[in-house]
Amino acid sequence: MHFVCMMIVVLFSLPTLAATPQEIMARNTRAIVYLQVENENGGVLDRGTGFIVSHDGYLVTAAHLKVDPTQRLTAVIGQTQGTKYRLLFRDADDDADVALWQLPQSPTCRYSVTINTNPVKVFDRVLSLGFPMDQGLSPSSVSLTNLASERGYYKVDGYLQPGNSGGPVFNEDGHVIGVVQGGTMPGTQNNDIIPIALAVNLIRKRNVRAGIGAPVPFDDSCYALCRNQSHGIEKWETEVGWGPESTGWLGGGHNQQDECNKIIAGALASRPDAQISLLPGSAGMWEESRKDILGHVEYKYYCRGTYRSGPIYVEKQSRACGLWE
């Protein structure tokens, strides 16, 4: 008994399995954007990172990535080259250095991050994802060393290169705990992290449907159209009469339905994509009997129905089809 109790204590004290940096990066690449501040001629004035927080394309970044009326902020999703979107400004908190922008004409099917709501601790391992310098999407694995810097930001023990500013910082659950500040404000350094709660204030102010604490499900319209077994059967390629088949003569004590079920199971053993349904009533099952010379009664059971094969499943949009690409 003592051993069992000790085992229970050990099992409950084991840490939950965390996502690996590779898993976090793979899961969130399509929710992270490369940002450029451009002049009216397309010249690049500044660079940074942002991350999408809602399926309709709202994204968070650092407020110090500013544009004047002659400039624009553009985004490329998941990489530095590709389709470029001109972002629409929505709101900013300059004191906290967080801003909210939105992808133009966004469908409700953008990939988005999940935002952390649990307390963070010193020594927590975290992962920054961003576009440092002229590099592609790059991870930086660091630890939290301070939760109350001069400006109320977190600090980490690594060097976060220019270009990471505005990018997400994930905990080991793969949830965003902060935004890279990058040392652009008085009293800050390149390893300062803006607590995600400051961005959540903006998100809630704008009534953005973000994944705060848990992912937000995609709308059904986000999923591709396909035929899948989970949708049910629309029709069959082949539909023909089956039987009658019989059991042969059997002694007493047998059930007619059970015997027909056995015959059907044997007929379908090599055809998992087929189906046999019995005709209703006595047209589908009947029996005959006889007595041997000793007076023992024997029975023969007959089964008849419809054989169907080649199911064609219902075509519709569902999670089984995967998201539209």
- Both 193 and 100 in one domain: the answer is yes
Position 11 in a domain: no
Strand, coil or helix: 211: strand
* Rounded (10°) CA dihedral 189, 48, 63, 50: -110
Of how many residues is the chain composed?
325
- Both 51 and 123 in one domain: the answer is yes
Say whether pLDDT at 4 is over 50: no
Say whether pLDDT at 132 is over 70: yes
Say whether pLDDT at 158 is over 50: yes
Per the confidence metrics, is the pTM higher than 0.85? no
- Both 164 and 103 in one domain: the answer is yes
Strand, coil or helix: 115: strand
Residue-wise pLDDT for 169-195, tens only, equals: 999 999 999 999 987 877 778 889 999
Position 8 in a domain: no
- Both 118 and 244 in one domain: the answer is no
pLDDT of 11 reads 42
- Both 235 and 215 in one domain: the answer is no
Q: With cut-offs at 50, 70 and 90, classify the pLDDT of residue 17.
A: low
- Both 29 and 165 in one domain: the answer is yes
* Rounded (10°) CA dihedral 61, 66, 67, 68: 150
Q: Which residue has the higher pLDDT, 76 or 293?
A: 76
- Both 26 and 99 in one domain: the answer is yes
Q: Are 47 and 131 in contact (CB under 8 A)?
A: yes
Q: What is the mean pLDDT of residues 277-297?
A: 91
Position 263 in a domain: yes
Domain stop point among 194, 219, 244: 219
Q: With cut-offs at 50, 70 and 90, classify the pLDDT of residue 14.
A: very low
Residue-wise pLDDT for 229-259, tens only, equals: 999 999 999 999 999 999 999 988 899 999 9
- Both 263 and 211 in one domain: the answer is no
Position 287 in a domain: yes
Residue 5 CB neighbours (<10 A) = 9
Domain stop point among 166, 192, 219: 219
Rounded to a whole number of angstroms, the CA Rg of the chain reads 32
Q: With cut-offs at 50, 70 and 90, classify the pLDDT of residue 122.
A: very high
Domain stop point among 188, 219, 250: 219
Q: With cut-offs at 50, 70 and 90, classify the pLDDT of residue 5.
A: very low
Q: Are 216 and 54 in contact (CB under 8 A)?
A: yes
Strand, coil or helix: 256: helix
pLDDT of 8 reads 41
Q: What is the mean pLDDT of residues 111-140?
A: 94
Position 42 in a domain: yes
- Both 165 and 234 in one domain: the answer is no
Residue-wise pLDDT for 20-51, tens only, equals: 999 999 999 999 999 999 999 989 999 999 99
Angle at 21 between CA 17 and CA 25, to 5 degrees: 120
- Both 21 and 132 in one domain: the answer is yes
Q: What is the mean pLDDT of residues 94-120?
A: 93
pLDDT of 3 reads 45
Quote the number of domains for the chain: 2
Q: With cut-offs at 50, 70 and 90, classify the pLDDT of residue 19.
A: confident
Position 325 in a domain: no
Q: What are phi and psi of 145, to 5 degrees?
A: -120, -15
Q: What is the mean pLDDT of residues 156-168?
A: 91
Say whether pLDDT at 116 is over 80: yes
Position 324 in a domain: no
Q: What are phi and psi of 310, to 5 degrees?
A: 70, 65
- Both 125 and 89 in one domain: the answer is yes
pLDDT of 258 reads 95
Please give the residue range of the domain that contains residue 300: 229-316
Say whether pLDDT at 299 is over 80: yes
- Both 202 and 243 in one domain: the answer is no
Position 322 in a domain: no
Q: What is the CATH number of the domain that holds 74?
A: 2.40.10.120
**What is the overall mean pLDDT for the chain?**
91
